[in-house]
A and B are shown apart, each in its own frame.
Chain A
Amino acid sequence: MLTGSDLQALWLTVRLAATATLILFLLGTPLAWWLARCRSWWKAPVGAIVALPLVLPPSVLGFYLLLALGEKGPIGWLTQTLGLGMLPFTFWGLVVASVIYSLPFMVQPLQNAFEAIGERPLEVAATLRASPLDAFFSVAVPLARPGFVTAGILSFAHTVGEFGVVLMIGGNIPGVTRVASLQIYSHVDAGEYADAHRLSAVLLAASFAVLLAMYLWRPKAGKSL
């Protein structure tokens, strides 16, 4: 059976992934919309920055984040000035790191979905008296629904699976920043292979189930378009 600390790590992981995904929906949707619709020169550099976590070693990202969030970093200075204290080695530090780390997994599926809609449905909405904001919620969002599902699942799953960044920012503190992937690492480190097995199997099964559900669901969504 899973131990108490295993369950604690799993629960922490779910909380972290859910919080990060929620924040990513709020940040990533307007960003993806802008990337899908703008003709500005800025589109290419912004797109490249969004994609950076895909290729950057997580430890590099974690290192820079640690500097930025730390006592002498700009964000650290900001959080201290605002009275929020320091973010490294806290849950919210993990959230910030996860949001940045999983950003491409939210933005790219959404951007693709928005681009696939094209200009026409929005023009139709405009000729039917819908303001741009109204048209976004009543036409673009429903038409991009498969993209939202994919983006949400990928962001959540990717946050569950991160290791290097959370190790750098979170520091593997039991009950605070020790997520499931770090818990498995700690088990192996301590020679507790049976414990590592159980927790790994849970993550493997859960990941497969989520992806299976996504692949089963997608063709149907495609047809309704």
Chain B
Amino acid sequence: MPDIAAAFKLDWPGFTLDVDLNLPDRGVTALFGPSGSGKTTLLRCIAGLERPVHGRLLFKGQVWQDAATWLPAYRRPLGYVFQEASLFPHLSVLGNLRYGMKRNPAAQARGLDQAIELLGIGHLLERQPATLSGGERQRVGIARALAVGPEVLLMDEPLAALDLQRKREILPYLDRLHDELEIPLFYVSHAPDEVARLADHLVALDNGRVAASGPLAETLARIDLPIRLGEDIGVVLEATVGVIDSEWHLARADFAGGSLWTRDRGLPAGRRVRLRVLARDVSLAVAEPGPSSIQNCLAGRVDSLGDDEHPGTLLVRVAVGESRLIARLTRRSAARLGIAPGLPVHVQVKSVALME
């Protein structure tokens, strides 16, 4: 019995949305896809800002929409963060924060204080929205959505309208939401880095349809249906900073089944991180490789093979302990090496991206 079940059919000129999803009631669910894939429309359908003719939305036992029921947006217990902060210009920051809170009898003053603390905006409360920077505005927008005491937080590309520096300013706050929030968070994004960093569950949309939906690491490791997160196929591994090698400025990240060395970015040992390993950065060797500039070499076993986009290459999924990596090989080298499921291989990883 899924806690959140959403099915929508919507027909607009030039665009069709047709989805049927079960979504987790915990953690961050990324709705990911290129522009025009329907991710924002899906989020708006969940929020009740769009009214699809055919729709069914069950949220933790409450019917938000079915053939007989339509709960308008203002009666759904949710928080929504728009791409532009969209603060009310006629209210102060505190007035904005209180707007929703006042209208929800169940919202508590504690929720407001928590939201202010979580987003670090205590010093901005008396300010007018027009005097805030873009990053500050978006933090207030997120806090305003949280202060209403929602049972689910919906975010529509909250970083898309910001420049790189503002993004860096906000990302740590989103990490905090990810770590501290007890309600589910649906996060629309077309930015692979944000998804790899924040998401626990991935819904990949393409042309108004669901291309894949499942836990992030598991979904990205599928090679029967490769999901490109950005420029290349790759996996995400949950890891912990193990050892810092201060002499060579390297840090070792330990994941279930092995560890990988990356450049030391000043993170303390014990810090939980995510590693992103792209298929193009992984190569396989059948025999123990000789001395090489590639430091990261893991023992694994071929799990399965899948087609790549180009007929000359294929994707090989390799099990390293409990984790899975994907390597891209040319079909010729795969044939010469005799790559087949069950074959023990040495996995060489040329490059790892580390995300806090």
Contacts and interface: CB of A to CB of B under 8 A. Distances in A.
A133 to B, nearest CB: 10
A127 B84 CA distance: 15
Residue among A123, A134, A135, A224 with max Cβ neighbours from chain B (10 Å): A123
Nearest to B103: A129
Interface residues of A, number: 22
B76 to A, nearest CB: 8
A124 to B, nearest CB: 5
Interface of A: 120-121, 123-132, 134-135, 138-139, 142-143, 145, 223-225
A142 B90 contact: yes
A127 B80 contact: yes
Nearest to A120: B86
Given A124-B82, A125-B99, A126-B49, 20 more contacts: A120-B82, A120-B86, A121-B86, A123-B73, A124-B86, A124-B88, A127-B49, A127-B78, A127-B79, A127-B145, A128-B100, A128-B103, A128-B145, A129-B104, A129-B148, A134-B74, A143-B88, A143-B90, A223-B130, A225-B89
Contacts, number: 63
Given A120-B82, A123-B49, A124-B82, A130 B74 contact: yes
Residue among B47, B73, B79 with max Cβ neighbours from chain A (10 Å): B73
B73 A127 contact: yes
Nearest to B79: A127
A134 to B, nearest CB: 7
Contacts of A130: 74, 99-100, 103
Nearest to A131: B74
B82 A128 contact: no
7 contacts: A125-B74, A126-B72, A126-B74, A127-B145, A129-B104, A134-B103, A224-B90
Contacts of A135: 74
B144 interface: yes
A134 B90 CA distance: 15
Contacts of B72: 126
A142 B99 CA distance: 14
A130 B79 CA distance: 12
Contacts of B86: 120-121, 124
Interface size, B (range): 20 to 34
Nearest to B154: A127
B103 A224 contact: no
Contacts of A126: 48-49, 72-74
A6 B78 CA distance: 63
A90 B236 CA distance: 82
Nearest to B72: A126
Contacts of B74: 125-132, 134-135
A129 B100 contact: yes
B49 A128 contact: no
Contacts of A129: 74-75, 100, 103-104, 148
A128 B148 CA distance: 7
A118 B210 CA distance: 31
A152 B188 CA distance: 44
Given A120-B82, A123-B73, A138-B99, A128 B89 contact: no
A121 B72 CA distance: 16
B125 to A, nearest CB: 17
Nearest to B98: A128
A85 to B, nearest CB: 45
A25 to B, nearest CB: 19
A128 B90 contact: no
A127 B142 CA distance: 12
A-B pairs with lowest CB-CB distance, top 9: A128-B100, A127-B80, A129-B103, A126-B73, A142-B90, A126-B74, A124-B86, A129-B104, A128-B99
Given A127-B73, A127-B145, A139 B49 contact: no
Contact of A143 (B48, B80, B89): B89
Contacts of B49: 123, 126-127
Interface string B115-146: 00000000000000010000000000000110
Nearest to B105: A129
Nearest to B47: A127
Interface string B86-120: 10111000000001100110000000000000000
Nearest to B106: A129
Contact of B88 (A123, A132, A139): A139
A134 B102 CA distance: 12
B69 to A, nearest CB: 17
Contacts of A139: 88, 90
B147 to A, nearest CB: 9
Contacts of B89: 143, 224-225
Contacts of A123: 49, 73, 82
Contacts of B88: 121, 124, 139, 143
A222 to B, nearest CB: 11
